[in-house]
């Protein structure tokens, strides 16, 4: 590995790496590839079944000059479920980052088998090849492994609900609390928890060098899809894309079960800074499980809907609807077996101590840049789709 001119947090030179990034064509992967190409000399073997979100990194625009990062990124279209090329790519790399997953809540209760296979079974060979070949692994888990907070089981009027000890989520002490088996929502969290335990055990018994990332609602441009435009008309993406779709179509935003659940949202670009620190500081990141979120950006889903309505009106110049939201039951919206995480505040002690990282962007600012992107990218296509539907 050649030196890069970059130094790590302890002042040591960082050597150029080859990174096998599985799930590189998704939302997080596309931002991580962008960052690695723009700011580092590392090479990326980008593995995914789709490449649309990283097309701009792979091919020069028509008539444009060649890309500044040359051939440092190579796309390998393969499904890790059943492709023997995976082990070879892992062997060629210094670091493996696994992002591949089914990770949209609408799938957890309606496609529980696919969800469990994707998040546990399909990740097994990746862990095995890393362990057998002595390769470092950064695995993407989820904040959802915490499940519900202890506070949610206290009486509604209990003053203890205000005590952070009952709701702040800490990597090394918080329990993982899921609903009953028929609440299939938890199939995802449970599969992610088991793969975390397996990776941890590979570290303990076989010396696997690993880092586990638990993202807390990372949002920004290129997240999921807009139904009927760049995804299935009946598809249900995560909340940012659902609400963007409603705003683009001038429809009320749908609040599931009153929109009382709370979330902390972090700007994708802040979160990617944390991942780059993990990549380039193995001695500080190995063996760690990291919460990556922004505890200062907490809102109820209802408040998120109200803020997105205001921000969208500002960036699009369109007046908000008179009735901007409507209530919908979770059964109607997601079907049988849905359940929800009540509140998700990440404890930041471990990531602060190990990597000195903190998020920077306020919820208003991140929504402003994201909704500017959504409006610029989709408004015209949505308008055309609506007029075509009216005409037919």
Which residue number is nearest to ligand NAD in terms of Cβ? 26
Q: Choose from ligand NAD, ligand UDP, none: what does 340 bind? Cβ within 5-8 Å by kind.
A: ligand UDP
188 carries an active-site annotation = yes
Using CB under 6 A as the binding rule, whether residue 105 contacts ligand UDP is answered as: yes
- Kind plus residue range of the DSSP H or E element containing 350: helix 349-355
Q: Choose from ligand NAD, ligand UDP, none: what does 101 bind? Cβ within 5-8 Å by kind.
A: ligand NAD
Of 108 and 312, nearer to ligand NAD (C-beta) is 108
| Rounded Cα–Cα distance for residues 313 and 41 (Å) | 40
Q: Choose from ligand UDP, ligand NAD, none: what does 363 bind? Cβ within 5-8 Å by kind.
A: none
Of 14 and 47, nearer to ligand NAD (C-beta) is 47
Query: Counting beta carbons within 10 angstroms of the beta carbon of residue 392, is it exposed (0 to 12), middle (13 to 18) or buried (19 or more)?
Result: exposed
Q: How far is the CB of 71 from ligand NAD (least distance, A)?
A: 21
Number of residues that bind ligand UDP (CB under 6 A): 15
CA 265, 50, 75, 59 dihedral sign is negative
Of 89 and 382, nearer to ligand NAD (C-beta) is 89
Using CB under 6 A as the binding rule, whether residue 368 contacts ligand NAD is answered as: no
Q: How far is the CB of 197 from ligand UDP (least distance, A)?
A: 21
Q: How far is the CB of 109 from ligand NAD (least distance, A)?
A: 16
Of 239 and 247, nearer to ligand UDP (C-beta) is 239
Point out the catalytic residue in the list 108, 188, 334, 378. 188
Q: Choose from ligand NAD, ligand UDP, none: what does 245 bind? Cβ within 5-8 Å by kind.
A: none
Q: How far is the CB of 313 from ligand UDP (least distance, A)?
A: 18
Contact (Cβ atoms closer than 8 angstroms) between residue 178 and residue 190: yes
Contact (Cβ atoms closer than 8 angstroms) between residue 57 and residue 25: no
Binders in 127-156 for ligand NAD, by CB under 6 A: 140, 142-143
Q: 3-state SS string over 203-268?
A: HHHHCCCEEEEEECCEECCCCCCCECCCECCCCCCCHHHHHHHHHHCCCCEEEEHHHCCEEECEEH
Using CB under 6 A as the binding rule, whether residue 107 contacts ligand UDP is answered as: no
CB atoms within 10 A of CB 11: 6
Contact (Cβ atoms closer than 8 angstroms) between residue 236 and residue 230: no
Q: DSSP labels for 156-188?
A: TT-GGGGSGGGTEE-TTT---B---TT-GGGHH
Give the one residue of 339, 340, 347, 368 binding ligand UDP; rule: CB under 6 A.
Answer: 340
Segment lying near ligand NAD (by CB under 6 A), choices 27-35, 62-70, 277-285, 315-323: 27-35
**Which residue matches tokens 């890309």?**
67
Using CB under 6 A as the binding rule, whether residue 108 contacts ligand NAD is answered as: no
Using CB under 6 A as the binding rule, whether residue 254 contacts ligand UDP is answered as: yes
Contact (Cβ atoms closer than 8 angstroms) between residue 143 and residue 348: no
219-247: buried (b, 16+ CB within 10 Å) or exposed (e) per residue?
bbbbbbbbbbeeeeeebbbbbbbbbbbbb
CB atoms within 10 A of CB 261: 19
Q: Choose from ligand NAD, ligand UDP, none: what does 140 bind? Cβ within 5-8 Å by kind.
A: ligand NAD
Tell me the catalytic residues: 188
Query: Which residues of this protein are in contact with ligand UDP, per CB under 6 A?
Result: 105, 144, 217, 238-239, 242, 254-256, 259, 261, 263, 301, 340-341
Query: Which residues of this protein are in contact with ligand NAD, per CB under 6 A?
Result: 23, 25-29, 48-50, 79-81, 99-101, 103, 118, 122, 140, 142-143, 215, 217-218
């Amino acid at each position: 590995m050649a030196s890069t001119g970059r130094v790590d947090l302890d002042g040591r030179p960082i050597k150029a790496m080859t990174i096998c990034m599985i799930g590189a064509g998704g939302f997080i992967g596309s931002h991580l590839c962008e960052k690695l190409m723009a700011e580092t000399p590392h090479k990326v073997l980008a593995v995914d079944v789709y490449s649309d979100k990283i097309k701009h990194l792979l091919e020069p625009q028509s008539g444009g000059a060649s890309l500044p990062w040359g051939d440092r990124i190579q796309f390998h279209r393969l499904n890790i479920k059943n492709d023997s090329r995976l082990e070879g790519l892992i062997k060629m790399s210094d670091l493996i980052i696994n992002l591949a997953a089914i990770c949209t809540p609408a799938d957890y209760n309606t496609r529980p088998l696919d969800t469990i296979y994707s998040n546990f079974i399909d990740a097994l060979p990746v862990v095995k090849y890393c362990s057998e070949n002595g390769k470092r692994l950064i695995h993407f888990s989820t904040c959802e492994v915490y499940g519900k907070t202890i506070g949610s089981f206290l009486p509604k009027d209990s003053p203890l609900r205000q005590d952070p000890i009952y709701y702040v989520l800490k990597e090394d002490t918080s329990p993982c609390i899921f609903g009953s088996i028929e609440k299939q929502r938890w199939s995802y969290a449970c599969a992610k928890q088991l793969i975390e335990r397996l990776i941890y055990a590979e570290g303990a018994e076989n010396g696997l060098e690993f880092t586990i990332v638990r993202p807390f609602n990372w949002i920004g441009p290129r997240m999921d899809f807009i139904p009927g435009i760049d995804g299935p008309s009946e598809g249900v993406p995560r909340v940012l894309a659902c609400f963007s779709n409603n705003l683009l179509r001038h429809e009320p935003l749908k609040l599931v079960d009153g929109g009382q659940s709370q979330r902390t949202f972090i700007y994708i670009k802040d979160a990617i800074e944390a991942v780059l620190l993990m990549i380039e500081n193995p001695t500080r990141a190995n063996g760690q499980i990291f919460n990556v979120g922004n505890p200062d950006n907490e809102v109820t889903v209802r408040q998120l809907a109200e803020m997105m309505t205001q921000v969208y009106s500002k960036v699009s110049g369109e007046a908000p609807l008179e009735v901007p939201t409507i209530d919908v039951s979770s059964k109607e919206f997601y079907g049988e077996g849905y359940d929800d995480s009540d509140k998700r505040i990440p404890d930041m002690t471990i990531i602060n101590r190990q990597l000195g990282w903190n998020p920077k962007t306020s919820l208003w600012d991140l929504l402003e840049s994201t909704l500017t992107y959504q409006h610029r990218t989709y408004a015209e296509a949505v308008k055309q789709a609506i007029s075509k539907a009216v005409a037919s």
